[in-house]
Chains A and B, each alone.
Chain A
Amino acid sequence: EPEVTQTPSHQVTQMGQEVILRCVPISNHLYFYWYRQILGQKVEFLVSFYNNEISEKSEIFDDQFSVERPDGSNFTLKIRSTKLEDSAMYFCASTGRGYQETQYFGPGTRLLVL
């Protein structure tokens, strides 16, 4: 069964550093998403991406965040200057073109900002 993959599985960084989280969505999918989950809290939507542009974003997704699809397979989330409160699990998801498609989530990247 095709699946969404994410790298790295874990990342530790210093406050103020830039991090790039990588995702490879399912190959024929067209819609891409990032969510995050702070430890013990709900899964929160960050951003959705379609046709090479952001289609929806939440209040969390401020100027420190950016997304990119640099080639035909990868989908990245960049945090320019990390803060302690960015520590969380970050999940990538993708979905296909059909109306009844569901979102398929990756295994996540655990980001720890020190």
Chain B
Amino acid sequence: LAKTTQPISMDSYEGQEVNITCSHNNIATNDYITWYQQFPSQGPRFIIQGYKTKVTNEVASLFIPADRKSSTLSLPRVSLSDTAVYYCLVGDIRDTGRRALTFGSGTRLQVQP
């Protein structure tokens, strides 16, 4: 799995848009980018996955530039309940669904009222 780098922590206020960027300079051709969310004392939860350009679902958007060396998770109008740790994972789609996931330290997002 490609090594990823993301900020250790971020602070935001309710109603703001939050963008968390992940660097993955060594991403390989077959690698996809996947983001997970983890609330305290709970298991990680899949948020979004993409390969290039932009992916959007009901929870978040994922922006991936043409060189794919970074990606940005965008959370629109965060609320207090979005306070969590967000993990960026990069791996071969043929593997990531089946093989071990390697979690880094993630980005701890704290949303204030």
Contact = CB atoms under 8 A, between A and B. Distances in A.
5 contacts: A4-B43, A33-B100, A45-B100, A45-B102, A105-B45
Contacts of B43: 4, 91, 93, 105-108
Contacts of B34: 102
A99 B45 contact: no
A89 B97 contact: no
A33 B49 CA distance: 20
Contacts of B94: 99
Interface of B: 32, 34, 38, 41-46, 49, 87, 93-94, 96-106
A100 B100 contact: no
Contacts of B97: 31, 95-96, 98-103
Contact of A58 (B46, B93, B100): B100
Interface of A: 4, 31, 33, 35, 42-45, 48, 50, 55-56, 58, 89, 91, 93, 95-96, 98-108, 110
Contact of A102 (B46, B104, B105): B46
A99 B45 CA distance: 18
Contact of B42 (A33, A98, A107): A107
B49 A100 contact: yes
Scoring B38, B43, B103 by chain A CB atoms within 10 A of each residue's CB, the highest score goes to B43
Contacts of A42: 103-106
A95 B87 CA distance: 18
Contact of B44 (A50, A96, A105): A105
Contact of A103 (B41, B46, B93, B105): B46
Nearest to A47: B100
